[in-house]
Chain A
């Protein structure tokens, strides 16, 4: 069936470390977004990236649509990066609906 899987499920980093989060999807997609859900529950847009590479400060993302994955890079992590990171996709087949991934829970230690 249609799946959006993220890895790793949990990640603990020391402040200043770099990390790569992965999102795998089971079919071709039209849209893909990365979100950060902070400890207060707010979903914050990081990237809208159905294909290609984008960068915003310490964060960057790459989506290789033909190989059905997307990567989120966090460099020089800060404690404020803690929270849950979700990717969300709209599959090309079927109805237009964003499907959220399983999430990566990140904790950055001071």
Chain B
């Protein structure tokens, strides 16, 4: 069984540029999560989807971050424009019931 797939694995951009991350969850997993992990800290939830519906986006900075999960399968997280403080690892996870499984993450560096 394939795990959670994320791309790209690494991204370096200059501040004020846009960036997008893609996630494909484990087949059959209806719940999809996006997390941000800063250096030396645990992951923090940005948004959770149940199928196509964003059911918890309270921690998503909506002025510059957006996400979508069309057709309830893969998902895209976008930042526009990026700021220096957005440098972090962006993790995608999925679950069928309660146990989450994580992808390898995208390491974003904003210069």
Contact = CB atoms under 8 A, between A and B. Distances in A.
Interface of A: 30-31, 33, 35, 40-43, 45, 48, 50, 86, 88, 90, 95-98, 100-103
Interface string B56-96: 10100000000000000000000000000000010101000
B29 to A, nearest CB: 13
B42 A97 contact: no
Among B42, B48, B98, B100, the most chain A Cβ lie within 10 Å of the Cβ of: B42
A45 B101 contact: yes
B104 A98 contact: no
Interface of B: 33, 41-45, 48, 55-56, 58, 89, 91, 93, 98-102, 104-105, 107
Main secondary structure of the interface of B (DSSP, over half): strand
Contacts of A102: 42
Nearest to A6: B42
B102 A100 contact: no
Nearest to B3: A42
Main secondary structure of the interface of A (DSSP, over half): strand
B43 A48 contact: no
Contact of A100 (B44, B48, B99, B105): B44
Nearest to B55: A96
B20 to A, nearest CB: 20
A96 B56 CA distance: 8
Contacts of A42: 102, 104-105
Nearest to A35: B102
Nearest to B45: A97
A95 B98 contact: no
B57 to A, nearest CB: 11
B44 A33 contact: no
Among A35, A40, A96, A98, the most chain B Cβ lie within 10 Å of the Cβ of: A98
